[in-house]
């Protein structure tokens, strides 16, 4: 095997998902119980009557969080949300999490207690057991690894690759708020460093900051879908950006898509903060990431049922393979959707 071309490339040339695909392109599963390996929100394991879902998530200080403005209690809460969101995205129910923690000498017992208080609160809210893990010393900063375990009935499993042409593209919640909350926090951090402003006035921005520091998962919508006997054809949790995650579904399902500019839900506070930063509101909505909303597709014939669920917005439809991926303006103009979301 000639690795000369690969030796000329850096990791940054691939991006997150490109690197995963490159490293695992020759990986084959050998156990018949492995139903789904790399490439979806969770690994899927046949455990008999039901399927077991397993997902892992890694957070690094300085990359995924900044402790200048992130309370450790909130960080512990968010770490659990990040992991169990992948289980919900496959239409499953999380049951356990395991925490692996690396901490440097700058952290004291009170810091770790705050972190685990947040972990415990998230576990309690989402009926998940903290079932184990590991703690070790680190030379620099804090590293948090979370493994989430859950189950789903075989008939109810939803993956990313099941969308079909003409399926409706549906979302929960709104988009871009977490990104704009991060921009506000970063602005105040820079003021703290430069001008030693210790008590920033963030009143009026509670929603966007809350979406960044303490996200929630729209579990109630999944319950409503089940009550209406609606099984999505594909689903993903929006963590890397609405555009990026929609393109994941299109690529894996071999479809195109059309979404409509005016249909993408954006909160008023997000729009107001985007205007303050002189950013087009659609940029954070499509590419911001960390929304923890659900993006899914359903057959067109489900349109009447979907319209009865207020927490769901239809933003477009899937199209045939090779037809491209576009966002359609109010004037009918089409702009190609590109993946510019989170790549870490």
Q: What is the CATH number of the domain that holds 295?
A: 3.90.650.10
Q: Is residue 133 part of a domain?
A: yes
Q: Is residue 32 part of a domain?
A: no
State the pLDDT at residue 191.
79
274 and 246 in one domain?
yes
Whose structure tokens read 């659609």?
A: 282
Bridge partners of residue 143, in order along the sequence: 60, 102
Q: Is residue 163 part of a domain?
A: no
185 and 95 in one domain?
no
State the pLDDT at residue 46.
81
Q: Is residue 10 part of a domain?
A: no
Domain boundary among 134, 156, 178: 156
Q: What is the arithmetic mean of pLDDT over 296-318?
A: 97
Q: Is residue 307 part of a domain?
A: yes
Q: Is residue 18 part of a domain?
A: no
Alpha-carbon distance 344 to 339, whole Å? 13
- Is 315 a residue whose pLDDT tops 60? yes
Average pLDDT, the chain: 89
260 and 206 in one domain?
yes
Per-residue pLDDT reduced to its tens digit, 135-186? 999 988 999 999 999 999 999 999 999 999 999 999 999 999 999 999 999 9
Handedness of CA 35, 237, 284, 166 (dihedral sign): positive
Q: How many residues does the chain have?
A: 344
Alpha-carbon distance 290 to 338, whole Å? 17
Handedness of CA 175, 177, 183, 185 (dihedral sign): negative
Q: Which domain holds residue 202?
A: 168-336
195 and 108 in one domain?
no
Q: Is residue 176 part of a domain?
A: yes
The band of 1, judged by pLDDT with boundaries at 50, 70 and 90, is very low
313 and 192 in one domain?
yes
Q: Is residue 343 part of a domain?
A: no
Check which CATH number belongs to the domain holding 90 and give it. Answer: 3.30.1330.10
If one counts the domains in the chain, the total is 2
Per-residue pLDDT reduced to its tens digit, 265-283? 999 999 999 999 999 999 9
3-state secondary structure 215-228: CCCCHHHHHHHHHC
285 and 193 in one domain?
yes
206 and 96 in one domain?
no
């Amino acid at each position: 095997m000639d690795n000369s071309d690969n030796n000329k490339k850096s990791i940054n040339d691939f991006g997150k998902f490109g690197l995963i695909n490159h490293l695992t392109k020759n990986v084959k599963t050998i156990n018949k119980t492995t139903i789904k390996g790399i490439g979806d929100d969770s690994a899927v394991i046949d455990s008999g009557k039901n399927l077991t879902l397993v997902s892992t998530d890694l957070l690094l200080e300085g990359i995924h969080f900044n402790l200048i403005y992130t309370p450790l209690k909130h960080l512990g809460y968010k770490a659990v949300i990040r992991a169990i969101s992948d289980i919900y995205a496959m239409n499953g129910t999380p049951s356990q999490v395991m925490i692996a923690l690396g901490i440097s000498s700058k952290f004291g017992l009170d810091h770790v207690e705050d972190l685990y208080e947040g972990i415990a609160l998230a576990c309690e809210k989402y009926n998940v057991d903290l079932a184990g893990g590991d703690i070790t010393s680190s030379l620099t900063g804090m590293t948090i690894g979370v493994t989430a375990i859950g189950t789903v009935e075989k008939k109810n499993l939803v993956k990313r690759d099941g969308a079909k042409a003409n399926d409706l593209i549906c979302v929960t919640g709104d988009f871009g708020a977490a990104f704009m909350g991060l921009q506000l926090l970063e602005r105040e951090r820079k003021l703290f460093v430069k001008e030693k402003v210790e008590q920033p006035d963030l009143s009026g921005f509670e929603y966007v900051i809350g979406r960044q520091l303490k996200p929630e998962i729209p579990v109630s919508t999944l319950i409503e879908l089940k009550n209406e006997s609606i099984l999505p054809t594909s689903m993903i949790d929006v963590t890397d950006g609405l555009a990026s995650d929609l393109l994941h579904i299109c690529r894996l399902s071999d479809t195109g898509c059309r979404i409509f500019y005016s249909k993408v839900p954006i909160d008023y506070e997000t729009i107001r903060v985007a205007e303050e930063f002189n950013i087009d509101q659609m940029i954070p909505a499509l590419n911001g990431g960390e929304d923890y909303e659900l993006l899914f597709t359903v057959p067109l014939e489900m349109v009447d049922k979907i319209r009865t669920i207020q927490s769901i917005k239809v933003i477009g439809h899937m199209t045939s393979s090779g037809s491209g991926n576009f966002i359609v303006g109010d004037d009918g103009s089409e702009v190609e959707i590109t993946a510019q979301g989170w790549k870490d």
